Chains A and B, each alone.
Chain A
Amino acid sequence: MTQQNMPYFEDVELGDEIGPLQKVAADDQVVGFCQLWGNPMPNRFTDAAIAAKANLPGPILPGVMSMALMSQLLTQWGGPGALKDLDLVFRQPVPHDQPLNIAATVTDTRQENGENLVECDILMTGAAGERYVGGTALLSLPSKSQ
């Protein structure tokens, strides 16, 4: 049985939209993330002056934090153990305290080695349509017949 509102493989079709998930990464969340990460602070992720020296418009999110935010869309949709592969390209710096839109589109469904696989394109965009982070994901879903 899937958890509440989580899809079965048979429910998913090519072109299905997943999300969007809207997020805002606040300054204190980025600081908390950097503390866990062990990145010495201040740094370009937490400090405006250091970010400016690196020719950045302001402090940015670490790529690994953007990835963590994007994986939430997929675990919320498919369940905590569904995500098998997340492959991302960091296209532009991701700002703090700005709306981030995370959405995915199903590009393939297939059964392989006993697994029910769903492949999708995933994208994090900004309020003005900035394409911050993009990539692909592969999930394994339960089947109604299992």
Chain B
Amino acid sequence: MVMELEYDRSLYGKEHEAGPFEVTKEMIQAFSQSIGETGAVFNDESAAQTAGYRGVVAPPTLCTLYVRRVELPDINLNFGKTRFHAGQRVQSKAPIVAGDFLTASSHLKEVYPKTGRSGTMVFIVWETTFRNQDGVVVADVQESYAARE
């Protein structure tokens, strides 16, 4: 049986934007420190420049910190009492380095039910595209939230 979900389908095709966010050397270094990342290009400016980068390189998932700075509307899903962060995907397209300014643009990608041993859950997937100051797409991030009965 196909499950009929009720939610605000008018959100499809709408972009929600935020930024620009400055990526500073200090922020990258603090991010690296918080996860115990000791790679030279992620911490040291001269090492990054020797490796051919303009500045200290952001670890590939740093942009995920900015996703929740985009104000997203409630999709008014008529399912589930609890929601949790079920998954995340980062597709890196180009390096992010200290001194970059990122803008974020998010849209509702899909809403779908899935039934497993623990019952039915509905997944809500938002996709955010990050561009740098030159308009270059540097990363796409998908965040999935699961609603459970």
Assess the A29–B90 pair: CB atoms within 8 A.
Answer: no
* The one of B30, B57, B60, B85 that contacts A86, using a Cβ cutoff of 8 Å: B60
Assess the B87–A68 pair: CB atoms within 8 A.
Answer: no
Overall SS of chain B's interface: mixed
Assess the B35–A80 pair: CB atoms within 8 A.
Answer: no
Interface size on A, residues (CB 8 A): 32
Within 8 A of A (CB), among B74-104: 84-92, 95
B33 within 8 A of A: yes
| CB 8 Å contact bits of B18-55 with A (1 = contact, 0 = none) | 00000000010011011111010110000000010000
Assess the A72–B65 pair: CB atoms within 8 A.
Answer: no
* The one of B62, B85, B89, B95 that contacts A81, using a Cβ cutoff of 8 Å: B95
A144 within 8 A of B: no
Assess the A80–B51 pair: CB atoms within 8 A.
Answer: yes
Assess the A86–B31 pair: CB atoms within 8 A.
Answer: no
Assess the A86–B90 pair: CB atoms within 8 A.
Answer: yes
Assess the B61–A71 pair: CB atoms within 8 A.
Answer: yes
Residues of A within 8 A of B31 (CB): 33, 36, 68
* The one of B39, B59, B65, B89 that contacts A85, using a Cβ cutoff of 8 Å: B89
Supposing A64-B65, A75-B60, A85-B90 touch, asked if A32 and B85 sit within 8 A by C-beta, the answer is no
Chain A, residue nearest B36 (CB): A23
Give chain B nearest CB distance to A142 CB in angstroms: 13
B68 within 8 A of A: yes
Residues of B within 8 A of A67 (CB): 61, 64, 88, 90
Give chain B nearest CB distance to A62 CB in angstroms: 8
In this complex, the member of A64, A76, A81 whose beta carbon has the largest number of chain B beta carbons within 10 angstroms is A64
A69 within 8 A of B: yes
Give chain A nearest CB distance to B75 CB in angstroms: 20
Residues of B within 8 A of A33 (CB): 31, 34-35
A13 within 8 A of B: no
Within 8 A of B (CB), among A2-46: 3, 23, 25, 29-30, 32-33, 36-39
A103 within 8 A of B: no
B9 within 8 A of A: no
Residues of A within 8 A of B39 (CB): 72, 75-76, 80
Q: Apart from A67-B61, A76-B39, what are 4 other A-B pairs with CB-CB below 8 Å?
A: A38-B65, A64-B61, A72-B36, A72-B39
| A-B contact list, 14 entries, CB within 8 Å | A29-B36, A36-B65, A64-B61, A64-B65, A65-B35, A69-B36, A80-B42, A84-B91, A85-B90, A85-B91, A85-B92, A86-B61, A89-B87, A90-B85
